[in-house]
Every structure is written in structure tokens, then in C-alpha cells.
Amino acid sequence: MQRYFVDPEQMEEGYVTITGDDVNHIVRVMRSRVGDELICCNGRGRDVRGAIEEIGADAVRIRILEEGLPNRELPVQVTIAQGLPKGDKMELVIQKGTELGAFSFCVFTSKRTVVKLDDKKEKKRLERWQKIAKEAAEQSHRSRVPEVGSVLTWRELLETASRFHYALFAYEKEETATLRRTLSEVPPGSNVLIVIGPEGGFDETEAAEAEAAGFRSVSLGRRILRAETAPLYALSCVSYEFEQQE
């Protein structure tokens, strides 16, 4: 069943009003008609099943049939901090990371970051990345759309560690602390930051700075993963630890 995200104020008592680009998607892409059912989410935990009652030029009115649909969110809130990669790799990270349950994304630059974005390019990238997150959240039946934050400098990223219960730093030279062992210490309901480097990873100075800032270095396994593979591996480990062993 098709899923759409709406602002909380678009959900009234008994009804939902869908506006914007989603109207065109409902009418012209899905070719939906009055009586067809769909799911609406306000991004804050309220998911409802409804039936189309009225189709207008600029809005579609939905009558709510059922509240309290199953929760498909991860038991922990995982923010992926991704070193800005080349090409369209960030789009892949956001799309697949959203499907795997990421709570939010932030992008940062460090010593080995190759890509440089000016303000205009960053604005366009952020708009596109947020749209990709929304579409992936709808496809994977998420209850919320992950937020994609503005591009941070390395120093700005280090300052975020204190905002999380667990701030983890994926480092290829870590030999003892595995992600699996660290996740076993994390209780459900925690918020977790996982930092993934750009192509080329981190140097030893950055690793020391991360540790000094409160990050815990973890290994993602015996093999060296690509920049766009590492966050998806990490999210898969989180899902296995918290969802597949129930």
C-alpha cells in the first residue's frame, strides 16, 4: 500500500489532506481513484490507513480508517555521519541507509575529502538528498523521514559527540573493539552516532582527535570497505543486534 508523509497539521480529526507534489503522484503516477486506500504518516509516530474521499486539483482528502499501524523503526536512533564521498555515492548511502533504518544523516569534510561544495551546490545537494530520504522512507514503510543535516567541518563534527549516548568512530586500524561487541552494550532507546570516513579514510591525527573528543573507535571487520559500503554494513549490524535476535 502506497505511503505518504504529511505535515502534522495536515492530519485533522478523522481526515488527512495531502498537497504538493504528492497530489500529482497519487493522481497521475498511481492513478488512484476515490475509495482507494493508502497510508499517511506525520513523521512523529502517527501512521494511519485511509481511503481517498475527494480528489481536487491541488489537494487529495483522505478519510482515516485505522490508527496505530505497526512500528517499523529501529529500537535505537542511529545517525550516520558520512565523510563526503565522490560522485553520487552519498545518494546511495542516504537511499539504502534510510531503508535500513537510519534515524538521520550528517555529512562532513575531513583531510582526505576530495569533493568541495560551495553554498549553492550544497543547497542543491541537500534538497536532493532530503527528497531521496523521503522517497526511500515511503518505499520502506518507515514512520519518519530521516533528516539530512548541513555539511559539517571536521571540527564541527567532533563537537557533536556529547549529544549522543554513544559516539562511534569506524577506524580501519582498530584491532580490538568491534562494532558487534560495542553494540552489545547499547540499550534500546539510545541514540548512536556512527562516523564513517571518506575515500581514503582517516589519518592517525584525526583518529586521536576523535578519541579525545569522546568518540569510541570500532572495527567494521577484517575487510576494508568502500566509503559507501561501510555505513550500510554498520546499519545492518544494528538491525541484526536489535531486531533479528528477538
Residue 21 sits in a domain whose CATH number is 2.40.240.20
Closest C-alpha to 152, from 164, 161, 140? 161
Rounded Cα–Cα distance for residues 48 and 39 (Å): 6
pLDDT in tens, 208-240: 999 999 999 999 999 999 999 999 999 999 999
- Average per-residue pLDDT for the chain: 93
pLDDT for res 215: 96
Residue 8 cell numbers, joined: 502534522
The per-residue b/e assignment along 2-29, b for 16 or more CB within 10 angstroms, e otherwise, is bbbbbeeebbeeebbbbeeebbebbbee
- Does position 105 have pLDDT exceeding 90, yes or no? yes
Q: What's the CA dihedral at 75, 81, 84, 85 to 10 degrees? A: -40
The answer to whether the beta carbons of residues 238 and 78 sit under 8 Å apart is: yes
Which pTM value belongs to this model?
A: 0.89
The answer to whether the beta carbons of residues 109 and 151 sit under 8 Å apart is: yes
pLDDT for res 139: 93
Rounded Cα–Cα distance for residues 175 and 221 (Å): 9
Q: Find the domain containing 137 and state its range.
A: 77-242
Residue 29 belongs to a domain: yes
- Does position 245 have pLDDT exceeding 80, yes or no? no
Residues 189 and 211 in one domain: yes
pLDDT in tens, 30-74: 999 999 999 999 888 889 999 999 999 899 999 999 998 888 899
Residue 72 belongs to a domain: no
- The total of other beta-carbon atoms located within 10 Å of residue 59's CB is 15
59-66 and 47-55 beta bridge pairing: antiparallel
pLDDT for res 246: 55
Residues 105 and 178 in one domain: yes
Instruction: Count structural domains, the chain.
Output: 2
